DNA sequence: TCGCATGGCAGTGACACGCG
DNA sequence: CGCGTGTCACTGCCATGCGA
């Protein structure tokens, strides 16, 4: 990522010049505008990746939840529950860890896409090879190749994701008489078995993922029916922002499935779905608006308005044009309109 | 109640260096 | 030459506190 040189020595935050909210929002999202317009202009918004519907609606942690016993997110009558992975160390000790950040999100998308490409529907176990090497794999999921730090992080997050217990609860189950109630849900854990080489265990330090594979759990394999199509080029642009990845997947899915004339989502609902652990709703609101602004640059035809109460969604052309849809080219992004809305 | 300023913490990327 | 490791700067998420 190119870093913008600063004229003054601004390592001391107090020395930074005063910025209006609009300027700050602009500074955060403007780098995306040219790139977004380029992708739309060149017709490069096309399906190349997929994500299961449940995971487009519910979010993994942005940061390490550390010692939490479980992680939960709610969207309408669906709840995502993640129990931490139990991670073996070389010395035989076990530690707990949640998958978090961009890596597991991108990996889930990559995995879903791989399964879809295999096109298997015979119900037999699906085995996904993780690539010739870790670098190869990282290129596939759009992570820039870096040094050993990056590779270790990816391996760590893969282990966390593969071993974590993921459950989708259905909260719509009606209550019975005398206070009785029904609990309904299903497992969505990623793998039923796996074989992962750890970089540190390699004798020569080469090709740490050679021979690594994941056998996809039947539940996860089933979840890719009707998976949401995403544009790989957009994912690459948003990859360093987990919240933007979540908003992008959710927005594409909502517009993909939208049947009603309009749909409203309150700030409370958005916070339950996307919010990290903000202590105040207004803090979440500010962060969400900025990130939504960045995402909308890649989906300029999404008819979405930010209101005092939340979001107002209207039926929109699909993000990924399908056969028969009109070409998206030529749709320029109206940044002025969205800056106004983001600062409402 | 809300917007805003400020700052801490943690994750991430770039880079230099050492090693085989 | 490729990989691992450590360091530093940058960035995003989030908290605290103040004033309108």
How many percent of chain A have pLDDT more than 70? Answer: 66
**Strand B-contacting residues in A 175-214, CB cut-off 7 angstroms:** none
**A254 is near strand C: CB distance < 7 Å:** no
pLDDT at A15 over 50: no
User: What is the pLDDT confidence band of residue A289, given thresholds at 50, 70 and 90?
Assistant: confident
Half-sphere exposure of A149 (CA within 13 A, CB side): 2
Find the Å distance, CA of residue A84 to C1' of nucleotide C7: 31
- Sorted by sequence, the CB contacts under 8 Å of residue A152 that are 6+ apart come out as A199
Find the Å distance, CA of residue A249 to C1' of nucleotide C10: 27
- Alpha-carbon distances, residue A211 vs A103, A116, A132, A204 (angstroms): 20, 21, 8, 15
**A1 is near strand B: CB distance < 7 Å:** yes
pLDDT at A1 over 60: no
Residue nearest to nucleotide C14 (CA to C1'): A278
Find the Å distance, CA of residue A68 to C1' of nucleotide B8: 21
**A279 is near strand C: CB distance < 7 Å:** yes
Residue A318: Cβ within 10 Å count: 17
pLDDT at A42 over 60: yes
**A5 is near strand B: CB distance < 7 Å:** no
**A340 is near strand B: CB distance < 7 Å:** no
Distance (Å, whole) CA A333 – CA A296: 8
**A15 is near strand B: CB distance < 7 Å:** no
Place of tokens 């519907």: A53
pLDDT tens digits, residue range A133-169? 555 556 655 565 444 556 666 777 788 888 888 899 8
- Sorted by sequence, the CB contacts under 8 Å of residue A78 that are 6+ apart come out as A54, A57, A58, A168, A169, A170, A171
- Alpha-carbon distances, residue A113 vs A51, A124, A130, A224, A254 (angstroms): 7, 18, 13, 9, 20
User: What is the pLDDT confidence band of residue A12, given thresholds at 50, 70 and 90?
Assistant: very low
Are the C-beta atoms of residues A37 and A332 closer than 8 Å to each other?
yes
Note the strand C nucleotides within 7 A of protein beta carbons.
2-7, 9-16
Distance (Å, whole) CA A296 – CA A300: 5
**Angle between helical axes of A335-342 and A21-41 (0-180°, round to 10):** 140
pLDDT tens digits, residue range A58-86? 888 877 776 677 888 888 888 888 888 88
pLDDT at A325 over 60: no
Residue nearest to nucleotide B11 (CA to C1'): A63
Find the Å distance, CA of residue A12 to C1' of nucleotide C3: 36
Residue nearest to nucleotide B10 (CA to C1'): A63
**A149 is near strand C: CB distance < 7 Å:** yes
> Where do the structural domains in chain A lie, given as residue ranges?
20-49+233-342, 53-223
Find the nucleotide nearest A21 (Cα to C1′): B4
Residue nearest to nucleotide C9 (CA to C1'): A11
User: What is the pLDDT confidence band of residue A315, given thresholds at 50, 70 and 90?
Assistant: very high
């Amino acid at each position: 990522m190119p870093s913008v040189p600063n004229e003054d020595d601004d390592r001391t935050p107090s020395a930074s010049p005063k910025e209006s909210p609009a300027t700050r929002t602009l500074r955060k999202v403007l780098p995306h505008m040219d790139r977004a317009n380029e992708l739309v202009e060149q017709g490069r918004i096309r399906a190349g990746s997929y994500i299961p519907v449940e995971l487009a609606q519910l979010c993994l942690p942005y940061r390490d939840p550390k010692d939490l016993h479980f992680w939960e997110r709610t969207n309408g009558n669906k709840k995502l529950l993640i129990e931490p992975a139990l991670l073996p160390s070389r010395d035989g000790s076990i530690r707990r860890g949640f998958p978090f950040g961009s890596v597991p999100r991108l990996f889930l998308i990559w995995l879903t896409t791989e399964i879809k490409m295999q096109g298997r529907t015979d119900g037999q176990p699906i085995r996904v090879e993780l690539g010739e090497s870790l670098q190869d794999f990282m290129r596939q999921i759009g992570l820039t190749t870096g040094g050993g730090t990056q590779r270790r992080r990816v391996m760590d997050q893969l282990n966390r994701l593969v071993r974590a217990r993921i459950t989708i609860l259905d909260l719509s189950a009606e209550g019975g008489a005398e206070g009785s109630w029904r609990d309904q849900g299903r497992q969505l854990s990623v793998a039923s078995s796996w074989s992962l080489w750890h970089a540190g265990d390699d004798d020569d330090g080469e090709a740490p993922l050679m021979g690594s594979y994941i056998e996809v759990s039947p539940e996860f394999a089933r979840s890719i029916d009707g998976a949401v199509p995403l544009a790989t080029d957009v994912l690459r642009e948003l990859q360093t922002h987990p919240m933007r990845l979540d908003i992008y997947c959710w927005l594409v899915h909502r517009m993909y499935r939208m049947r009603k004339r309009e749909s409203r989502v309150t700030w409370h609902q958005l916070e339950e779905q996307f919010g990290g652990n903000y202590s105040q709703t207004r803090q979440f609101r500010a962060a969400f608006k900025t990130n939504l602004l960045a995402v909308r640059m890649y989906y300029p035809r999404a008819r979405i308005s930010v209101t005092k109460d939340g979001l107002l969604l209207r039926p929109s052309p699909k993000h990924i044009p399908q056969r028969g849809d009109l070409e998206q080219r030529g749709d320029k992004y109206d940044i002025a309109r969205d800056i106004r809305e983001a600062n409402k």
